[in-house]
Every structure is written in structure tokens, then in C-alpha cells.
């Protein structure tokens, strides 16, 4: 399925309006969009077809989330966007720059947090941020300023002079996110950035994502946390078996697939198995359940997880695999 510009759907109208509002009414033309993925396929030599004809755009100031079960192809897609892998076919452009023809130019336009990365062990947190700021082209003064800002934003003040080797896994992850945001790039790519973080650290990182989005940066992030996707993302794409199954806001995803409301009830009394039915009208769902002779049930709004499980079937876990 292709999710292209020009389709007369809510997603295009909404994101176009959002881009215009966040760019002083200018909007995004096709050539200067932060990210365009066009009919991307990735097939490995051993025959695994990790990505299948994936197309979408990301807009200025948007937080775009990518969800998918184990082996869906999320990380493969991200690694092609960040130029670590070459697509078998298709095109990827970042602010109009071709990722295959000019990978160095593309990398200079984005900040990246990969799933697995190592810090220089004997540098302190502040030294790391300062040095990488200079490597990204910041002056000494600006590198110092940004290092201090990032340390404050990510609640790393108590660790600013601690060498990286002594940091916990969660703290190292926060430093990695800080490195991606140092030069305030127009596109930030986060591959499961909150894995291993404690709840407060997750919230701090969420705030940083929101802050950069409010400044006009585009955030592309993969995650397997449903609450994270609902809390942060303007749109969510769901990938399974290498295909992009759906891409829209959470509310529109639920509405489009008939999952606005759900009614859960017991099939064989209190100790029996439960069943859940979904629909757009909660009153209609209640009538259907009552018509079956059921008197005890619960009614609620559906979550992103309901849509995710319905679209991806039994593939409910997320972890490493060859297809990723």
C-alpha cells in the first residue's frame, strides 16, 4: 500500500495544514519535505524481503511513529533512511537530497539514535556533548552552550562530569539522544529511543521530543510502546511483514478500521473466556451483546494497541530478527 501526497484523504490535508502552520504559512513543497520515502524495497541476499514497496512523507514539525511486531522491518527501514543500508529499489530523500547519491550530505541534515551504539568510555558526559557538537560544525561557544542545554533538558546535571563507562544503560541512552539533538537538525531519527529507560527518564525524553517538534524539527521514531506512540506521535505507521499497513493519526486509524469503541464480555459466566467486539457506535455494540443474553459487560474506547493487534494478527512482540 502506498501513502502518497495528492490523495484526497484527511491525512494529507491535516499534515499539509500542520506543516503550513509551523512554517509561517509557507507549507512544505514536495522538494523540501524533511523526508520522502518512495517505493522502497529491501531484499537481502538470503532471500528475506524486509521492506516491500514502502512509501510515505514526513512533514515539518511532525512526530511520526513507526510500530511493528518482531521482524516487521522497522529497523531495516530506518537504516536505509540513515544511509547505513542501500535500498534494493526505490528512493529516499531528506530535504530534497538523495540518500543513495549523497549519503554524507543526508547525514549532515539529521540527528540519529540507533538501537545499538557505544559512547567513548573515558570521556565525561559534558566532554562527549561538547566534542560531538564541534564535529557537527558548531563553534566552541555554541558547542558549550548546547552541551549545557542538553544536560539540563535530559536531567543529566548530576552526571555532567561522570565518565561514560560509569553510566547506567538508561543514562547512556539519554546521552545518545542528546547527541542526536545537539546541532538542532531538521530531522531526528530515533530507533526505539526509550528502551531501557526508567519512567522518569522516558518522560524527560518525551519532553525533549516535544520541544524539538515545537521548534519545527521532524521526528521519526520507532517504538514498541503503545502509550509512547499515542502520547507523542502526530501520525503512526504500522508495519508488518515488511509492508506499511496503515499510516494516520491514532484517532483516524481507529475510526478508519471501525475500532472507536469496544465491548468486552464473558462468554461462559464470570470464570469463562472473554470476548471483545469492536465498532464505531457504542450503543449498537451494547445492543448486540444484550441480544446474546449477556448482562455483564464493559464498554470503553479502543486504544492504539487494539488497532495494532487487529492489523498485525498474532505478531505481538517486538525484538531482534534477521528481517529487522
Q: Is the pLDDT of residue 271 over 70?
A: no
Say whether both 108 and 145 belong to one domain. no
Q: Decide which of 254, 269, 290 is a domain's last residue.
A: 254
Reference 317, options 251, 243, 246, 240; nearest CA is: 240
Q: In percent, how much of the chain has pLDDT > 90?
A: 52
- The pLDDT of 125-129, averaged and rounded, is 97
Note the maximum CA span of the chain: 73
User: Which 3 state secondary structure label does DSSP give 90?
Assistant: strand
**What mean pLDDT comes out for the span 79-86?**
96
Reported as a pLDDT band with limits 50, 70 and 90, residue 10 is very low
Task: With a cut of 50, say whether residue 104 has pLDDT above it.
Answer: yes
**Which residue, 216, 234, 254, sits at the end of a domain?**
254
In a shared domain, residues 43 and 158: no
CATH of the domain at 245: 3.40.50.300
28: confidence class by pLDDT, cuts 50, 70, 90:
low
For the chain, give percent helix, strand, coil, nearest 5: 35, 25, 40
Q: Do the domain assignments include residue 203? A: yes
Same-domain check for residues 291 and 155: no
Name the most confidently modeled range: 3-17, 44-58, 246-260, 296-310: 44-58
Q: Is pLDDT above 70 for 74?
A: yes
Alpha-carbon distance 67 to 70, whole Å? 10
Distance CA 56, CA 58 (A): 7
pLDDT, greater one: 16 or 93:
93
Q: Please tell me whether residues 193 and 157 are part of one structural domain.
A: no
On whether both 129 and 114 belong to a single domain, the answer is no
Same domain (yes/no): 106, 215: yes
pLDDT bin (cut points 50, 70, 90) of residue 321 is very low
> pLDDT value at position 77?
95
219 located within any domain: yes
- 67 falls within a domain: yes
Task: Give the tens place of pLDDT for each residue, 276-300.
Answer: 888 888 899 999 999 988 888 999 9
Structural domains in the chain (count): 3
pLDDT higher than 80, residue 196? no
**How does pLDDT run across 215-239, given as a tens digit for each residue?**
899 999 998 888 899 999 999 999 9
Instruction: Provide the pLDDT for residue 133.
Output: 94
Same domain, 154 and 291: no
Domain assignment present for 208: yes
User: What's the confidence (pLDDT) of residue 15?
Assistant: 40
Q: Whole-angstrom Cα distance, residue 74 to residue 71?
A: 8
Q: How confident is the model at residue 195 (pLDDT cuts 50, 70, 90)?
A: confident
- 3 pLDDT more than 80: no
Distance CA 152, CA 123 (A): 18
Measure Cα distances from 172 to 95, 156, 216, 286 in Å. Answer: 30, 10, 26, 49
- Say yes or no to pLDDT of 62 above 70: yes
175 backbone dihedrals φ, ψ, rounded to 5°:
-65, -40
Does residue 210 share a domain with residue 282? no
Q: 40 and 82: one domain?
A: yes
pLDDT at 324: 57
How much is the average pLDDT of 251-271? Answer: 80
Q: Which long-range contacts (CB under 8 A, 24 or more apart) does 247-256 make?
A: 247/3, 247/11, 247/56, 248/10, 248/11, 249/11, 249/14, 250/304, 250/307, 252/10, 252/11, 253/304, 253/307, 254/302, 254/304, 254/306, 254/307, 255/280
3 state SS of 60: coil
The answer to whether the CB of 153 falls within 8 A of the CB of 184 is no
Instruction: Let me know how long the chain is.
Output: 324
The alpha helices in the chain, defined as continuous H runs, are: 10-21, 74-81, 103-107, 125-135, 140-153, 169-181, 199-214, 226-232, 250-256, 282-291, 304-312
The answer to whether position 308 is within a domain reads no
What pLDDT band is residue 270 in, cutting at 50, 70 and 90? low
Domain that residue 142 falls in: 120-166
pTM here is: 0.79
Same domain, 92 and 196: yes
Q: How far is CA 258 from the centre of its chain?
A: 23
Q: Please name the residues in contact with 28: beta carbons below 8 A apart, sequence gap of 6 or more.
A: 16, 19, 20, 34, 59, 60
Amino acid at each position: 500500500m502506498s501513502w502518497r501526497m495528492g490523495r484526497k484523504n484527511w491525512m494529507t490535508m491535516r499534515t499539509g495544514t500542520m506543516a503550513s502552520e509551523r512554517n509561517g504559512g509557507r507549507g512544505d513543497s514536495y522538494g523540501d519535505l524533511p523526508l520522502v520515502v518512495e517505493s522502497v524495497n529491501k531484499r537481502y541476499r538470503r532471500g528475506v524481503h524486509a521492506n516491500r514497496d514502502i512509501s510515505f512523507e514526513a512533514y515539518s514539525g511532525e512526530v511520526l511513529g513507526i510500530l511493528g511486531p518482531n521482524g516487521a522491518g522497522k529497523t531495516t527501514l530506518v537504516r536505509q533512511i540513515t544511509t547505513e543500508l542501500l535500498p534494493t529499489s526505490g528512493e529516499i530523500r531528506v530535504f530534497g537530497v538523495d540518500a543513495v547519491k549523497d549519503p554524507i550530505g543526508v547525514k549532515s541534515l539529521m540527528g540519529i539514535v540507533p538501537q545499538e551504539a557505544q559512547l567513548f568510555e573515558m570521556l565525561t558526559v559534558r566532554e562527549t556533548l561538547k566534542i560531538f557538537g564541534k564535529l557537527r560544525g558548531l563553534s566552541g561557544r555554541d558547542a558549550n552552550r548546547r552541551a549545557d542545554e542538553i544536560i539540563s533538558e535530559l536531567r543529566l546535571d548530576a552526571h555532567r562530569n561522570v565518565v561514560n563507562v560509569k553510566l547506567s544503560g538508561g543514562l547512556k541512552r539519554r546521552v545518545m539522544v542528546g547527541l542526536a539533538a545537539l546541532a538542532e537538525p531538521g530531522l531526528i531519527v530515533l530507533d526505539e529511543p526509550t528502551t531501557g529507560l526508567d519512567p522518569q527518564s522516558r518522560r524527560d525524553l518525551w519532553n525533549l521530543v516535544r520541544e524539538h517538534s515545537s521548534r519545527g524539527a521532524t521526528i521519526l521514531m520507532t517504538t514498541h510502546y503503545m502509550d509512547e506512540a499515542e502520547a507523542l506521535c502526530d501520525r503512526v505507521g504500522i508495519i508488518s511483514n515488511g509492508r506499511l499497513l496503515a499510516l494516520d493519526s491514532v484517532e483516524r486509524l481507529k475510526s478508519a478500521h471501525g475500532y472507536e469503541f469496544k465491548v468486552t464480555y464473558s462468554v461462559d459466566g464470570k470464570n469463562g473466556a472473554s470476548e471483545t467486539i469492536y465498532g464505531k457506535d457504542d450503543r449498537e455494540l451494547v445492543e448486540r451483546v444484550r441480544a446474546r443474553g449477556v448482562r455483564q459487560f464493559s464498554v470503553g474506547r479502543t486504544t492504539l494497541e487494539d488497532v495494532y493487534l487487529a492489523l498485525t494478527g498474532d505478531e505481538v512482540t517486538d525484538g531482534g530478527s534477521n528481517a529487522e
